[in-house]
Amino acid sequence: MGGMEKLKQLVSRLTGRVIISSEVSEEDLADIEIEPLIGHIIAYFDGKPIGILDKATLNKIIEEMNSEKKPVEIEVNRVSDFKPNAKEFDADIKIRESNIEKTAGTTDEFVAYLNDRFKRISEIINQSMLNMANGRINSIEKLREYANGREATIVGMVFDKRVTKNGNILVNLEDSTGVAKVIFMNNDRNSELYKNAKKIANDDIIAVKGKISGAFLIANAILWPDVPIHNRNVAKEDLAAAFISDTHVGSKLFLEKKFGQMLKWLNGEIKYRKDLAQKVKYVILAGDLVDGIGIYPNQEKELVVLDIYKQYSILFNFLSSIPEYIHVFVLAGNHDAVQSTEPQPRLTKELIGDFKLDNIHFVTNPSYIKIHGVNVLAYHGTSLDSVIQAIPGCSYAKPETAMVEILKRRHLSPIYGGNKVLPTRRDYLIIDEVPDILHMGHIHKNGATDYHGTLVINSGTWQSRTTYQIKQGHIPSPAILPVYELKSMNLSYVDFNTLGE
């Protein structure tokens, strides 16, 4: 792009934000990269009542741009005496991605989406109740025919929930036939039923058993779709998978040196837990790969790289340092430059460019990734914010608590409207397969637990504490790598904060 073309683009992109002086010429822009320059100009004039870009100001901005912190280049050497066991085994991979449908966002599409969610999750509940011999389920409309005192079981979607003056919990539950008023009595607030009722959130699809009392159903049992208690699948081969998320490449707070250490560890340069490094056959990178551009107000001030393509180029340079026998699965998050509505597609060809390695797999968010028979459900985790805010007992300090609630609801984004969801005619966020491992990020905090046989892992971050997190009192846990051994089912952590620079 020549100087004149750059000047035209500068004028068109900054119209309404900054006035460009006539003394700025095409020669001033001849050797300048336009994308990062625009970001620096916007950041420079942020908060000023009027912005006039004259020649002196342009030169000042260009000088600051050229002298700013540059991304650290990490030199990774493959150690000749590093003999990884994982290299001796062929990859065993089966990927099931989300189908990213084109939608117009019509009312009919939203209705079809919610109907599909209700139908399929209801079927999961129905099957669970049949397995437990809990009897037949009634439609809500049928309740009108029953006399007071009769027991009935219904399945419905939570329309709303409130606490009455007496401390009872009143839930409006609806199905395709009508709306039922369900009351959870506060006779004993420490009872298991009442504590579970407090965790009911809008849009939950649940089964409730109770007795008819006038216009109400007095609940005595509640059932979420939930994942059944099961045995986790194990691999025959003694291999391991490492879990990463929220690298935020391009941010000033990206911990590139520690991330580089992790790459060196995978290549055998760092001898700590060499036995574990030798087993790593897979890496799953669950979103927020880069920090992005324009994700939040004044983000330009937080960036070291103001060009989205360069952010991805730096990321791919890092990924190319991972040994070729290790297969890497890469999915998007809310900071990435793909559609923000979920499910999210793979990174586009425009972003990936010429980068292509046989061991790097770009997949949708979410995706099921089966490795040596172990089924991993990978999802960035944007919905964790709404789950933590809505459900008692969940917290940012322990992201695994919210992830367990998501498993109970068999849906990756159970609270509709909590984050942007594509109104597809089939809901691809339903957890219709019971995973061996549920992997998320987004929260920037490591956490793990076993729930009904599913291992829940939140893989933290590779970004240091942000200004927003400081204001919120949230303390992240950066540069801690969870590694799961597929045969022994042992979960370990490699803490790169303790290994020095």
CA 414 remoteness from chain centre: 14
Report which of residues 475 and 61 the model is more confident about. 475
Please indicate, yes or no, if residue 346 is contained in any of the structural domains. yes
pLDDT tens, 462-473?
999 887 788 888
C-alpha to C-alpha distance for 182 and 36, rounded to whole angstroms? 57
Please indicate, yes or no, if residue 323 is contained in any of the structural domains. yes
- At 254, is the pLDDT very low, low, confident or very high (cuts 50, 70, 90)? very high
Query: With 50 as the cut, is the pLDDT of residue 415 above it?
Result: yes
* Structural domain that includes position 45: 3-67
Query: Cα–Cα distances in Å, from 96 out to 181, 408, 453, 459?
Result: 39, 22, 21, 21
> Where is the domain boundary, 67, 88, 115?
67
Per the structure, how many domains does the chain have? 3
- At 331, is the pLDDT very low, low, confident or very high (cuts 50, 70, 90)? very high
Cβ-contact 381, 368 below 8 angstroms:
no
pLDDT computed for residue 474 by the predictor: 87
> Does residue 258 share a domain with residue 334?
yes
Antiparallel, parallel or unpaired: β 280-286 and 216-223: unpaired
Query: With 50 as the cut, is the pLDDT of residue 349 above it?
Result: yes
Report which of residues 390 and 34 the model is more confident about. 390
CA 198 remoteness from chain centre: 25
Q: For the CA atoms of 303, 304, 310, 313, what is the dihedral angle to 10 degrees?
A: -100
Please indicate, yes or no, if residue 466 is contained in any of the structural domains. yes
Under 8 Å CB-to-CB from 259, ≥6 apart: which residues? 74, 247, 318, 462, 479
Q: For the chain, give the mean pLDDT.
A: 88
- At 275, is the pLDDT very low, low, confident or very high (cuts 50, 70, 90)? very high
> Does residue 284 share a domain with residue 160?
no
> Does residue 117 share a domain with residue 31?
no
> Does residue 386 share a domain with residue 252?
yes
Min mean pLDDT across 242-246, 280-284, 355-359 is at 355-359
- At 183, is the pLDDT very low, low, confident or very high (cuts 50, 70, 90)? very high
When pLDDT is averaged across residues 253-279 and rounded to a whole number, the result is 93
Please indicate, yes or no, if residue 87 is contained in any of the structural domains. no
> Does residue 201 share a domain with residue 245?
no
Please indicate, yes or no, if residue 78 is contained in any of the structural domains. no
> Does residue 267 share a domain with residue 193?
no
- At 456, is the pLDDT very low, low, confident or very high (cuts 50, 70, 90)? very high
pLDDT tens, 119-152?
999 999 988 776 544 557 788 888 888 889 888 8
> Does residue 58 share a domain with residue 150?
no
> Does residue 211 share a domain with residue 247?
no
pLDDT computed for residue 135 by the predictor: 57
When pLDDT is averaged across residues 81-90 and rounded to a whole number, the result is 91
Q: What is the pTM of this model?
A: 0.83
pLDDT computed for residue 133 by the predictor: 44
DSSP 448-461: EEEETTEEEEEE-B
Query: Cα–Cα distances in Å, from 462 out to 120, 225, 244, 483?
Result: 37, 34, 8, 15
Domain at 155, CATH number: 2.40.50.140
Please indicate, yes or no, if residue 500 is contained in any of the structural domains. no
pLDDT computed for residue 228 by the predictor: 94
Domain at 33, CATH number: 1.10.8
> Where is the domain boundary, 16, 48, 67?
67
Please indicate, yes or no, if residue 74 is contained in any of the structural domains. no
> Where is the domain boundary, 223, 241, 276?
223
Min mean pLDDT across 100-109, 380-389, 440-449 is at 100-109
C-alpha to C-alpha distance for 494 and 481, rounded to whole angstroms? 5
> Does residue 285 share a domain with residue 177?
no
DSSP secondary-structure letter at 348?
Answer: P
> Does residue 252 share a domain with residue 219?
no
Which residue spans within 191-246 are E strands per DSSP?
A: 205-213, 216-223, 240-244
When pLDDT is averaged across residues 24-49 and rounded to a whole number, the result is 71
When pLDDT is averaged across residues 176-183 and rounded to a whole number, the result is 92
pLDDT tens, 54-74?
888 888 887 776 655 555 566
When pLDDT is averaged across residues 394-405 and rounded to a whole number, the result is 96
Domain at 258, CATH number: 3.60.21.50
pLDDT computed for residue 134 by the predictor: 53
> Does residue 491 share a domain with residue 342?
yes
Min mean pLDDT across 67-81, 172-186, 445-459 is at 67-81
pLDDT computed for residue 25 by the predictor: 82
> Does residue 398 share a domain with residue 285?
yes
pLDDT computed for residue 3 by the predictor: 65
Please indicate, yes or no, if residue 216 is contained in any of the structural domains. yes
Query: With 50 as the cut, is the pLDDT of residue 166 above it?
Result: yes
Query: With 70 as the cut, is the pLDDT of residue 50 above it?
Result: no
Report which of residues 456 and 141 the model is more confident about. 456
Cβ-contact 159, 173 below 8 angstroms:
yes
Q: What percent of the chain has pLDDT over 70?
A: 91
